[in-house]
Amino acid sequence: MAKATRRYFFAARNEKNAHGYTIQFVNIPQLTAQGVTYQETVYYAYRVLASFLQSLPKNAAALKAYTLNTIPDTDDPNVFYSLVSVTEDFDPHQMMMHFTLPQAPPDEIKRMAGQLAHLTGTEPTP
């Protein structure tokens, strides 16, 4: 049986804009990553999050203050929220971005997934 690895979850606000993308952590607003492509921005987001987490005191309370507790609502078609999962060692190479879609009929899930795929494409919004 494989050893389970504990993961911490952080909510991220993703925005597609005229210059590319911006990712900001909901509970750590001073952490921001910007890039031209979505993949580049995710990479930078993982690096700034890892650096921040490694600077925290080595206790669960310090870390828990920044983990997921709510995700804001948005009506902006260029903004979506995701979850970043982080292993206990805060290794940015082990971080993963998770996209969430609410429970809905299959056609609505396809529509939302298509919208998410469009937002994570490589073209900046004009």
Q: Name, in order, each residue with C-beta under 8 angstroms of 18's C-beta and a sequence gap of 6 or more.
A: 124, 125, 126
Predicted pLDDT of residue 107: 92
The reply to whether 34 falls in a domain is yes
The reply to whether 124 falls in a domain is no
The reply to whether 96 falls in a domain is yes
Instruction: Kindly report the average pLDDT of the chain as a whole number.
Output: 88
The reply to whether 126 falls in a domain is no
Task: Find the CATH number of the domain harbouring 90.
Answer: 3.30.160.250
Compute the distance between CA of residue 117 and CA of residue 96 in angstroms, rounded to an integer: 17
The reply to whether 16 falls in a domain is yes
Tokens for 56, please give them: 């925290």
Predicted pLDDT of residue 100: 81
Say what the pTM is.
Answer: 0.84
Q: What is the pLDDT of residues 35-63, one digit of tens each?
A: 999 999 999 999 999 999 999 988 888 88
Query: Which pLDDT band holds residue 115 (cuts at 50, 70, 90)?
Result: confident
The reply to whether 74 falls in a domain is yes
Q: What is the pLDDT of residues 69-107, one digit of tens each?
A: 888 888 888 899 999 999 999 999 999 999 888 888 999
Q: Report CA Rg, the chain.
A: 15
The reply to whether 113 falls in a domain is yes
Best CA proximity match to 12, nearest among 88, 89, 95, 106: 95
Best CA proximity match to 78, nearest among 38, 33, 116: 116
Give me the residues paired with residue 104 across strands.
Answer: none
Domain that holds residue 15: 7-119
Q: How many domains does the chain have?
A: 1
Helix then strand then coil, in percent of the chain rounded to 5, is 30, 30, 40
Q: Which of the 8 DSSP states describes residue 98? A: E
The reply to whether 2 falls in a domain is no
